[in-house]
Structure 1
Amino acid sequence: MNILIIEDEIHAANHLQNLLSQIEPNANVLGWISSVSEVKNFMQDKHAIDLIFSDIEIRGGHVFSAFEIFPPKCPIIFTTAYNDYLLDAFQSNGIEYLLKPYDKDRLEQALKKFHRFHDHTPKTLDSSLLSLINQTLRSETKVYKTRFTIKRPKGMQLLDVKNVVLFKLDQTGLFAFDNQANYYPMHDFTLSSLEEQLDPNLFFRINRNEIINIQAISLIQSYGKDKLQISLEGISDYCLTSSHKTPEFRRWIESS
């Protein structure tokens, strides 16, 4: 059985692959892709896929914007935290879903359902359902992250997004910093996946390695010909916009 995983959170993809290795040891995971553009490219190549596990909101938008263009020819099990309306739409069309967070037993149930019905009446997403779901998602107001759960050696810690001054990627990993210079490991995320989950009115990616909070900016100064030096509350080192981001950043601070 060839399986494709569509998921933009590293820990969620790893969790799924780990459970699949226990439940379906002979399954072949064709790949793990995390953005709308990657989904389009993969589906366009017409791989032999037996089953897709897919999150709904991934990097670049909703996965249905890719599925409308390249409808999957195989069943999909959605791994989602979305609202009851969409879950009802899935159920009424015989499509399985896993409501996050899910465990091994719940995944096993979904796979049993897939095996039970797939050989006789394989279920795929028809064009009318794709259109309905995509329209529904476009009409909804996007909800951005308000807090993160940070894993610590002795347990978990909650971090409110409003208290984050800076997200920074360095050689040791990705970290969040608050205005007291405390730092929090964000190793389950990529900077791109974080960017998609943060309110763009408050957070801006100023270069390849840093996302800043507009409410934490204390001073902006010119730096050379086409860069800006940004000082943030509680952060001793300044940040620099990349040259190609500077014009967009100027527009952002004026419009926010």
Structure 2
Amino acid sequence: MRILIIEDEPRAASQLQNLLNKSTFDFQLLDIIDTVEDAVLWFKKHTTPDLVFMDIQLADGLSFEIFQKIEVSTPIIFTTAFDQYAIQAFKVNSVDYLLKPIQQKELETALHKFTKSNETKVIEPVILKELLNSIQTPQKRSGILVKEGSGFVQIRISELLYMYSQDSITFGVTHNKRYIIDETMDQLFDSLDDTKFYRINRGQIVAKMSIQKIEPYFNHRVKLSVSNPRDQEFIVSRQKTGNFKEWMNK
């Protein structure tokens, strides 16, 4: 079985590869790709794989954009950290998915389902549109639970200046305090208003209101000055710089 992994989180890609190695299936890993742009180029240059594991949120956009740029006739198993509201669209449209963090048993079940199927599942345009609408529909959220002492308190989303991940812990920073948020960066960003918050790289999300200055930085990136930066540097990744500037202009 020739497998392609499209995933922008190195840790998630490594975990998936380890789970595949532990499975009872013989496979050949063709490549690991982390952007929409590189995925499109890969499909244009290579023979179609037998199966693709595809994350939804990539470094330069939603993976669904791949299908808008090129025809992909390979069966897809999406890997996602999106909440139940979005996953419902996958169930309705019979598109396979694995919820992160992926479990060995669930992977084995998905692979068995794939090997027993005689049909090549191609994502039809109408299904793609429904999935895109579901994923992109903002899930309004006004508050968030954060750790305080031995318990939790709720703070307003509007108080957060930025969020970041460090040593597998997610932090949220306000003007006065730093909180621990009991969610992954993927889960957190997926529930935020994307007109007010931008994920500038894998480990940082910044509120538009907190950005004070934007300066050119090495390798076509930009560096941000934000309110209450503490010990953090805010560098927009190269792949996201163009989209970030467009977002700031809105």
* TM-score over 0.5 for the pair: yes
Aligned to 2:218: none
Tell me by how many angstroms 1:21 deviates: 1.0
- Give me the TM-score of the superposition, normalised by structure 1: 0.61
Structure 2: 5+ residue stretches without partners: 147-151, 216-221
Aligned to 2:248: 252
Q: How does 1:51-90 map to 2 (within 5 A)?
A: 51-80=51-80, 81=82, 82-90=86-94
Q: What letter is aligned with 1:83?
A: I
| Distance 1:39-1:178 versus aligned 2 partners, 3 A rule | same
Tell me by how many angstroms 1:132 deviates: 0.8
For residues 140 and 33 of structure 2, the distance between their equivalents in structure 1, rounded to whole angstroms, comes to: 22
What is the SS of the residue equivalent to 1:17?
helix
Which deviates more from structure 2 when the two are superposed, residues 103-112 or residues 47-56? Answer: 47-56
Is the aligned partner of 1:133 residue 2:130? Answer: no
What is the SS of the residue equivalent to 1:110?
helix
- Give me the TM-score of the superposition, normalised by structure 2: 0.63
Structure 1: 5+ residue stretches without partners: 151-156
**Contact 2:64/2:132 (<8 A) preserved:** no
For residues 56 and 208 of structure 1, the distance between their equivalents in structure 2, rounded to whole angstroms, comes to: 14
| Distance 1:201-1:44 versus aligned 2 partners, 3 A rule | same
RMSD of aligned C-alpha atoms?
A: 4.9
| Distance 1:161-1:65 versus aligned 2 partners, 3 A rule | farther
Aligned to 1:182: 178
| Distance 1:165-1:109 versus aligned 2 partners, 3 A rule | same
For residues 208 and 226 of structure 2, the distance between their equivalents in structure 1, rounded to whole angstroms, comes to: 11
Aligned to 2:120: 123
Q: Which structure has the bigger radius of gyration?
A: 1
Q: How does 1:13-92 map to 2 (within 5 A)?
A: 13-24=13-24, 26-80=26-80, 81=82, 82-90=86-94
Q: What letter is aligned with 2:54?
A: S
Aligned to 2:162: 166
